Chains A and B, each alone.
Chain A
Amino acid sequence: MKKPLVAVTLAAAAVPMLIGVAALPRPGDPTAPAHTHVAAHYIEAGARETGADNRVTAVLLNYRAFDTFGEVLVIFAALAAVIAVRSPATPGGRADDMPGPGPGLPISPVVAFIIRLTAPFIALFGAFVIFRGHVSPGGGFQGGVILGALLVLLSLVLGRGAERPLLAVPLARWLQAAAPLAFTGVGLLGLALTGALLGYPAEPERHALRELMMITLDVGIGIGGAMIILGLFLEMRGD
């Protein structure tokens, strides 16, 4: 784009934005509407209504679970999109592809040893982040990313490419859809128990069930996220 046009575009964006944000409530002001309206209710009543100490998780999995449902589908759509754009025109492979790091790229034995040594601990940490998401920082997405990174590392070390994936392809396809499946199960259970899709039972004697439903969502999101990250990696490495 021409330089004057760039300058005009930037000015057209910057000036109104600066004037606009200058008149917003000061960040950190406890009397600002962002703290006194919906957020105040989440903080004050969140534990009673959702059972989650971590209010971010309460919002993600309970109050605004439908957003999270859309979000897991966005990342699934990204996987579907990458495969649809990148998958070879013929089932045989990409003969005309540019040379990339092939599956046989040697990995230093030191790196391989360290990764194998730390793998169980990374897996444990990922699982901890997923399962403790409702009472401490963490949750399905964060844990899923940790597990996904582990899977990527392991496929590097074990020299597995798209031809010999860590998991059989049919199983991987189902696991990639784990998060929408978990939402379907929890959503329909909620429909049966409370009469609203993605509802959670509120009676005190069903609190254990409510916690189980939220953990199911977290685990589904975690497994699905990890598998999608692995799938993206395998599609993009260009072998």
Chain B
Amino acid sequence: MSHWLPLAAFVPLVAGALTPAMARGRPGLARGWALAVTAFCTFATAALTRRVALEGPFSYAMGAWAAPLGIELRFDEFSAASLFICVIMLLVLVYSGPYVRRALPATRIDWYYSLLLINLGGMIGFVITGDLFNLFVFMELVAVSSYALVAVGGGRTAALAAFKYLVAGAVSSVLILFCIGVLHALTGSLNMADVARRLATVESRPPVLLALAGLTAGFLVKAGLFPVHVWLPDAHAIAPSPINAVSSALVVKLGIIGLLRIFPLFAAAGAVSLAPLFEALAWLGAISVLAGAFFALFQEDIKLMLAYSTISNIGYIVLGLGLAGELALTGAGVHILNHALIKATLFLAAGAMIHQSGHRTLHDLRGIGRAMPWTTLALLIGALSIVGLPPTAGFPGKWYIALGALESGRPGFAVVVLVGALIIFIYFARMLNAFYFRAPSHKEMLGVSEAPASMLGPVLLLGALCVLGGLLTHWPVALIAPAVGRLAGGE
């Protein structure tokens, strides 16, 4: 058995708990420690991803208890998302150094790194676990640390945004726990593979439907899909910029990965058919694509604009899940990964601009393209990617989803994909216009300098990854192909 699998979640969690004790009052040490631990996780998840690419999914029995008795960790193709999580967290930690020195009170910095490590461990645990209740525990780890990280910067509305996020998150968690309880009462088991097997013989239909509907609704709230997105814009716009990158690029994706984990449970169940649910998901996703993009158009605040674009992109992914063909699922899977890169680029670049200039609306940021050329370049590459222009990382996901819509004879949804991209293109044009072609609203804008190297470096690297992610699409596509085949074939 490969011990990298449990250690990838175990190590960052323990390290997070030890951070405040080890690095009390020494922010540099806290950051170095967090970086070292995240580097370890990156290495571990890279090794695991390589193994899953070569050999296919594998399991680890915690405490040597065989599957239904103990907790099974299972690393499948979708768990490779943990590698993206680690890479983005690594860059966020590098970026955090100069950022938090100015933006956070000194007494909070060691706790900030502690919470980030716990968040990282929770996310890794969430994507690698093969047990329903364990999934819930890791989900709550991510949730508690995310709520706090939204409010960690202080400020007038931060606590309120965090509280809204907490209520929405906790209600959805309670719903998910209730449905896990229903599944346990029906099958007597919590192991996902075991539950799937035993649900196949369950005859009574209503509780199975209830569990399916409840879990789907709960995870959609976590993913921030329109119309259950109300908590998302505030929480994602008010938090410190590195946290935006984590929550918008990674944490909302856990809702989607949760969906990918629960659908196979019901695939073999004779009592329910997934087809009506997928139909509903496709419609919800399509509405979310348009609504998110539409709201983003009217935002002046650059971070709010990015938050609404997250809702739009979650819509794309859910639309891909709902279409449920092999092409559309491939598109959804690729977009889960690539949107993480793109959104991290956008939020970190926007955060660097806000950090250096002190302004956050498009109007105030006019002319920044000349003052911070590299950051602006990275932001525009990210914006091009989010539009979905080839050869950037946003293209393949949307392309596959559109192809999937055509393949399943639903050209209307392909039009939605296109229209969403066009609306996004409008706000890309607005940004381009404001940053390069308008006279600065503030004279001191031309005196603004580039962010320090440890903030600029991650931004540029992510910008480069946005292009690479578009050019090297065949890797993730080939990686998730077996998992997509299982999902599409299981219905």
Contacts and interface: CB of A to CB of B under 8 A. Distances in A.
Taking the complex as a whole, does A directly touch B, i.e. does some CB pair lie under 8 Å apart?
yes
Interface of A: 16-17, 19-25, 32-39, 41-42, 62-67, 69-71, 73-74, 76-78, 80-85, 87-91, 169-170, 173-174, 176-177, 179-181, 183-184, 187, 190-191, 194-200
B464 interface: no
16 contacts: A20-B206, A20-B209, A33-B188, A66-B63, A67-B71, A67-B133, A73-B13, A74-B144, A77-B16, A77-B141, A80-B114, A81-B144, A84-B149, A87-B108, A194-B64, A197-B63
A91 B106 contact: yes
Interface of B: 1, 3, 6-7, 10, 13-14, 16-18, 20-21, 24, 60-65, 68-71, 105-108, 111-112, 114-115, 118, 121-122, 125, 133-134, 137-138, 140-141, 144-145, 147-149, 151-152, 154, 159, 162, 178, 182, 184-190, 198, 204-207, 209-211, 213-214
A56 B324 CA distance: 41
A89 B198 contact: no
A196 B10 CA distance: 13
B266 to A, nearest CB: 14
A187 B185 CA distance: 31
Q: Which of B154, B187, B188 has the most CB of A within 10 A?
A: B188
Nearest to A183: B14
Closest 10 CB pairs of A and B: A20-B210, A81-B148, A37-B188, A33-B188, A70-B137, A173-B21, A196-B64, A180-B17, A84-B111, A23-B204
A180 B13 contact: yes
Contact of B69 (A38, A91, A177, A195): A38
Nearest to B115: A80
A83 B111 contact: yes
A74 B137 contact: yes
Contacts of B71: 64, 66-67
Nearest to B134: A67
A80 B206 CA distance: 41
Contacts of A90: 105
Given A22-B206, A24-B182, A90-B105, A200 B63 contact: yes
Contact of B10 (A38, A85, A197): A197
Q: Which of A19, A20, A174 has the most CB of B within 10 A?
A: A20
Contacts of A88: 105, 107
SS class, residues of chain A in contact with chain B:
helix
B24 A169 contact: yes
Contact of A24 (B207, B209, B214): B207
Contact of B63 (A25, A33, A41, A62): A62
A20 to B, nearest CB: 3
A63 B69 contact: yes
A84 B151 CA distance: 8
Given A16-B210, A34-B185, 14 more contacts: A37-B187, A64-B133, A66-B6, A67-B71, A83-B111, A88-B107, A89-B105, A90-B105, A177-B21, A183-B14, A184-B14, A195-B1, A196-B60, A200-B63
Contacts of B147: 81
A112 to B, nearest CB: 32
Contacts of A71: 137
Contact of A77 (B107, B134, B144, B187): B144
Contacts of A199: 63-64
B108 A170 contact: no
A30 B384 CA distance: 61
Contact of A21 (B61, B149, B182): B182
Contacts of A190: 63
Given A16-B213, A183-B14, A174 B21 contact: yes
B132 to A, nearest CB: 11
Contact of A37 (B149, B198, B213): B198
A77 B115 contact: yes
A221 to B, nearest CB: 13
Nearest to B65: A63
B162 A23 contact: no
A19 B206 contact: yes
B111 A39 contact: no
A76 B17 contact: yes
A70 B63 contact: no
A58 to B, nearest CB: 11
Nearest to A61: B63
Contacts of A65: 62-63
A198 B137 contact: no
A39 B187 CA distance: 11
Contacts of A17: 178, 210
Nearest to B5: A197
A79 B204 CA distance: 43
A118 to B, nearest CB: 31
Contacts of B211: 20
Nearest to B21: A173
Contact of A35 (B137, B188, B214): B188
B114 A196 contact: no
Contacts of A33: 185-189, 198
A171 to B, nearest CB: 9
A41 B71 CA distance: 15
A19 to B, nearest CB: 5
Contacts of A184: 10, 14
Contacts of A37: 68, 187-189, 198
Contacts of A84: 108, 111-112, 115, 148-149, 151-152
B262 to A, nearest CB: 16
Given A24-B182, A196-B1, A180 B18 contact: yes
B148 A85 contact: yes
Nearest to A68: B137
A71 B24 CA distance: 24
Nearest to B105: A89
Contacts of A21: 182, 207, 210
Contacts of A197: 3, 6-7, 10, 62-63
A77 B210 contact: no
Given A74-B144, A81-B148, A177 B18 contact: yes
Contacts of A194: 63-64
